[in-house]
Every structure is written in C-alpha cells, then in structure tokens.
C-alpha cells in the first residue's frame, strides 16, 4: 500500500513537470501561464540572392617599360603612381655612343654627297667628248657606273644615319599609353639594357579595370543551366550588372558586366576564370588590388524566413513552427547556400502560410504551448519592399 502511494506521488510530480515544460509556467496556485511569442506567416515572394566571389583587379593594359639599348639612367621624369599620357617622357638613358654614331653617319652622308657630285661632274664632262668622238663611249659608261655606285653609297649612308638616329631616340623612353606608373626599381645611374630582369616600370591603363574571379565546376554547370542561350557568350549577356565590393567593405559606385569566361577549367583548382569589366573614371581602382564581385540572382516564388528566426544544431538549420493548436514544433529546414540579405531561402520544411516564431531562442521545448502574437508582414519583410 505504501509502495503504491509512492508511485502515485512520483507520477503526479512527473506529470506536473511535463505540463510545466509543455504548456508554460505554473503559478503558485497551480494555474498555467502561457507565454506570448511574436510569430509571423511565412511568405512566398521574389528574392534576390547575392553570390560573392573573391576577385583580383587588373588594368585594361599593363605594359612593361624596358630599354632597347644599353646605358645608364640619366634622368627620371616621373615618380611612382604618377598619371601619364601617351608619348610623355618617362626616362632618359645616357648612351654617348649613339650620339657619336649619328655624328659619324652625318659625316658619311656629306662625304657620299661629295662623291656623287664629283661623279655627276665627270659624266657631264665625258658626255660631249663622246658625242664628238674624241673619246670612246666606254669612258662615258664607266663614268655613269661610277655615278650609280656613288648614289648607292649615299643611300647607304642615309640608311645608316636613320638607324643611328633611331637608336639615339631610344635614349628617350616615353609612355606607350595613358595610364599610371607602377613601381620604379632602379635609381639614377643604374646600368640597364634590353635583357635586364626587371622592367624600368609598368604603365597600367586603368580607364577600365578587369576583375578576375572563378567559378568551380558545380557553379559553372548551375550557371549554364540557369541562363538561356546556346553559347556561353549568349548566357553571359543574360547576366545582370554586377557589383564590386572593395577591400574596405564599401560598394564601388560603378556597375560592371561579366564579359568573358575562360575556355578551360584549371585542373589544379577545378575552376573556370571569369572576367568582369568596370569603368574607372576617377582612377579609384588600381591594378593588383583585391576585391569581391557580387552577382545578383533573382529567385521567383521563394520561401523566405528571416535568419533571426532560425537556429543551428549539429550542422542543421531549424525553426519553431507553430501548429493550429499553438504548439511549437521544432522543424528542420533546408536552405539555399546563398542568403537573400537577412533572409534564408527555404527549399524544404516550410510552406507559404506556415506560422513560425519570429525570434529563435534555441530553448523552446517541442510541443510547448505558446500564445502567438502575429506580426504584420511589413514588420517581417519590410526591407524587401
């Protein structure tokens, strides 16, 4: 009899604890207090997912400036980071031998011109004597051949002069494009030549900047299936404008477009290279910088749930779904890897019209009865409007 009484008391105590856990708190008088929780109705609407890809920036042109002759750096006309125009003087190479070659070529031209004049005079003197049969016509032919040889020597002298002047022109190094000067590893007096390992500098044309980023094989297949077109080029034209996130987390004001994709998948990384082009009117973007390309993807009829309404346990995502009896049901959901801002896109576990607890505490027990307070849609999804 005593044993039966103890068992009954324990069952009553367990039942009381279960009711306390599943229905709410219990007052001193034994009445149950049902806690109120904000809830919302799950909505199905259009969402924009933003996929982020690390990127490296490169100028439209990155041209190495190298000397074509041997010599010492005599003068530098620009500094690192300077903005230059096409044809602007960058360096002067000291190479006196090329000026001497010009002087020698000039003198050779003068000598050749004198020889031509003498040969022409000889032809003029010989021609009337031949006409009067005073001397043989072979004398005239010989004089004419000599004149031709002297003219050929003059042409050769002029060619040598042009070559010497071209080499002398190489002592002045100019910018081939409009752009920005990169690092200058040499100082005044440094000996340089065409085989020098490092260039004098690099001039980057940055009126347009290319952002290079990669998609793995799975992402590339998803891209190929999602966008219409018979070729990759046609599919690229379907992409919306993309955004560039700078290294400090700010958004670059100019929009860009994905224009090209590499024809091969890198066997080491298993990814394909994409290139987005961004205008750079004020020169904010520089070659070699890092950034992030943000590509928006629009999903129609998406089941959206605020991130704050979910919790994670053992690598899985859960929400507190509320049934018609106001009981909480811990429900596992599957979500897309890319969030839509502060929202997850649920692919399973939820349907439009389901009721979900707005603030996920991670402590609500399954089957707990709550008092739902339905939030208006603009409170939950207002920033999507």
Q: What is the pLDDT of residues 312-345, one digit of tens each?
A: 888 899 999 999 999 999 999 998 877 777 888 8
Tell me the CA distances in angstroms from 161 to 91, 172, 244, one per residue in order.
23, 18, 54
- Alpha-carbon distance of 92 to 284, in angstroms, equals 30
Q: What is the mean pLDDT of residues 241-270?
A: 86
Report whether pLDDT(40) > 90. Answer: yes
Q: What is the mean pLDDT of residues 202-225?
A: 85
pLDDT number for residue 11: 43
Under DSSP, is residue 89 helix (H, G, I), strand (E, B) or coil?
strand
pLDDT number for residue 333: 94
pLDDT number for residue 379: 86
DSSP state of 308: G
Report whether pLDDT(174) > 80. Answer: yes
pTM: 0.59
pLDDT confidence band for 31 (50 / 70 / 90)? low
pLDDT confidence band for 263 (50 / 70 / 90)? low
pLDDT number for residue 293: 93
pLDDT number for residue 2: 41
- Alpha-carbon distance of 147 to 151, in angstroms, equals 6
10-19, 56-65, 203-212: segment of lowest average pLDDT: 10-19
pLDDT number for residue 21: 47
The structural domains of the chain, ordered by start, are: 33-48+300-384 (2.40.420.20), 50-60+205-297 (2.40.30.170), 67-93+174-198 (2.40.50.100), 96-170 (1.10.287.470)
Q: What is the mean pLDDT of residues 354-374?
A: 87
Report whether pLDDT(76) > 90. Answer: yes
Q: What is the mean pLDDT of residues 225-250?
A: 85
Q: What is the mean pLDDT of residues 175-197?
A: 90
């Amino acid at each position: 009899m005593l044993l039966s009484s103890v068992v009954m008391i324990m069952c009553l105590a367990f039942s009381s604890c279960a009711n306390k856990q599943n229905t709410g708190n219990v007052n001193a008088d034994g009445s149950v207090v049902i806690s109120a929780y904000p809830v919302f109705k799950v909505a199905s609407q259009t969402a924009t997912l933003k996929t982020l890809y690390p990127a490296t920036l490169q100028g439209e042109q990155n041209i190495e400036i190298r000397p074509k002759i041997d010599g010492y750096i005599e003068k530098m006309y620009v500094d690192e980071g300077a903005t230059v125009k096409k044809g602007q003087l960058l360096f002067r190479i000291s190479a006196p031998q090329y000026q001497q070659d010009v002087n020698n070529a000039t003198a050779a031209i003068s000598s050749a011109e004198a020889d031509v004049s003498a040969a022409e005079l000889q032809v003029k003197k010989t021609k009337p004597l031949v006409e009067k049969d005073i001397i043989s016509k072979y004398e005239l032919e010989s004089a004419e051949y000599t004149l031709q040889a002297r003219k050929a020597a003059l042409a050769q002298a002029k060619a040598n002069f042009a070559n010497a002047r071209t080499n002398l022109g190489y002592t002045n190094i100019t910018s081939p494009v409009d752009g920005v000067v990169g690092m200058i590893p040499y100082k005044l007096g440094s000996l340089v030549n065409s085989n020098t390992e490092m260039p004098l500098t690099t001039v980057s044309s940055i009126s347009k900047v290319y952002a290079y980023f990669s998609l793995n094989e799975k992402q590339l297949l998803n891209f190929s299936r999602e966008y219409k077109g018979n070729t990759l080029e046609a599919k690229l034209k379907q992409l919306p404008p993309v955004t560039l996130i700078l290294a400090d987390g700010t958004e670059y004001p100019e929009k860009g477009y994905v224009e090209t994709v590499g024809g091969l998948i890198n066997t080491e990384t298993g990814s394909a290279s994409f290139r987005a082009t961004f205008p750079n009117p004020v020169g904010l973007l520089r070659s070699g910088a890092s950034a992030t390309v943000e590509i928006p993807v629009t999903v129609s009829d998406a089941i959206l749930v605020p991130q704050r309404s979910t919790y994670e346990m053992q690598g899985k995502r859960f929400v507190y779904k509320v049934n018609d009896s106001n009981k909480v049901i811990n429900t596992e959901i599957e979500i897309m890897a890319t969030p839509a801002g502060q929202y997850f896109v649920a692919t399973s576990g939820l349907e439009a019209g389901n009721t979900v607890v707005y603030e996920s505490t991670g402590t609500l027990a399954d089957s707990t009865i709550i008092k739902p307070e339905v939030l208006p849609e603009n409170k939950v999804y207002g920033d999507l409007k």
